[in-house]
Amino acid sequence: MIVDVHRHVQHKDWSSETWHEMMLTLRHNFMLSQGEKVTLEDVGKEVDTWYDDPQADKLIESMDQAGIDMAVIFPVDWGLGMGEGKVSIEEVNRLYGEMVQRHPGRLVSFVAVDPRRPNAVELLEKGVREWGAKGLKIHPSAGFYPNDESCYPIYRKAVELDAIVLTHTGNIIPPMRSKFTQPLYLDDVLVDFPELKLICAHLGFGWWQELSFLGWRRNNMYADISGWQRLVGNDFDTFCRALRAMLNRLGPDKVMFGTDGPTLSRDHPDGDWIELVRNLPETAPQGISFTSEEVEGILGENAKQLLEL
Ligand SMILES: [Zn+2]
């Protein structure tokens, strides 16, 4: 069973202009770096064709292509940090619940809520009780430290509802600021809420050592590998080292596969990413080893256990 624990579904009305500009610039720069001579306008047109997927139909198609059985989907609540989209975050979260209904057995949704919103706790509760969400996605780069007191009510509610929390960790693109996404600020959360299950996305990127050591003495920390498919081309050894460190310190049942699609899936097909992980027992650099059991765990079994799929 293959489970992608980190996936987004997009529509242009769901996020602000600032956010769109950021995404387009990011993609434009990437394409230029690949030697493709395209204008920002070309990129905009191209992105429009595959980015808008309000009912997750394109997602399901791409999952079938890549051999992904289930995906955990969530929006990102950047409203307070980058401006609100035309559609409210409450409505977007509700639409995610509808996508799960539309594609039975394929999707699990988390709500995305900025903990600083006055109705944050209410939005999480509504998401779980009414729209079937199994967790909460937070993105501290919207402008808060995850150990800030203002975040505690939503963690308390997550524990009460048995909702999993997934947070971005690791350096981030401008105009967002990386200081909010350093793993260290999650330690208070892990200690103060020992029953809270916290998934740290992207293995903390450049802070992978910090993240792995944080998880060493905490039983409630999980991690996902999404985002690294962009890096393995040049940094395969670093990826293997980071992954090995997570498995050693968090435990082999705590690390999960993710794509962060659709943004990265365009340049790094999800099927290739799965293959790369599957082949790690044979391809890992000298001195680092992975077992096929560990790989099965990462690709799906661990998520199956955690999410009770
Ligand atoms: Zn993401």
DSSP 34-64: TT----HHHHHHHHHHHHB-TTSHHHHHHHH
- pLDDT value for 226: 98
Tokens of 232: 């393995």
The rounded Å distance from CA 7 to ligand 1 centre is 6
Fold entry, domain 3-307: TIM Barrel (3.20.20)
Q: Tell me which residues have their CB within 5 A of the ion that is ligand 1.
A: 260
pLDDT score for 22:
87
How far is it, in rounded angstroms, from Cα 180 to Cα 131? 29
Query: What is the Å distance from ligand 1's center to 139 Cα?
Result: 9
Q: pLDDT tens digits, residue range 264-287? A: 888 899 999 999 999 999 999 999
In angstroms, what is the span from residue 257 Cα to ligand 1's centroid? 13
Question: What confidence score (pLDDT) does residue 162 get?
Answer: 98
Burial of 261: CB neighbours in 10 Å, binned 0-12, 13-18, 19+ = buried
Domain residue ranges in the chain: 3-307
For residue 201, report the distance from its CA to the centre of ligand 1, in Å: 8
Ligand 1 centre distance from Cα of residue 286 (Å): 31
Count of C-beta atoms within a 10 Å radius of residue 104: 7
Looking at residue 1, its pLDDT comes to 96
* CA 42 to ligand 1 center in whole angstroms: 24
The mean pLDDT of 127-143, rounded to a whole number, is 97
- Give the global pTM: 0.96
List, for residues 200-234, the tens digit of each pLDDT value.
999 999 999 999 999 999 999 999 999 999 999 99
- For residue 305, the one-letter residue type is Q
- What is d(CA 232, CA 227) in angstroms, rounded to the nearest whole number? 10
Q: Chain-wide mean pLDDT for the chain?
A: 96
Q: Which residue, chain included where needed, has tokens 């007191």?
A: 149
Strand order in the sheet with 70-73: 3-7, 70-73, 107-112, 135-138, 164-168, 198-201, 221-224, 255-256
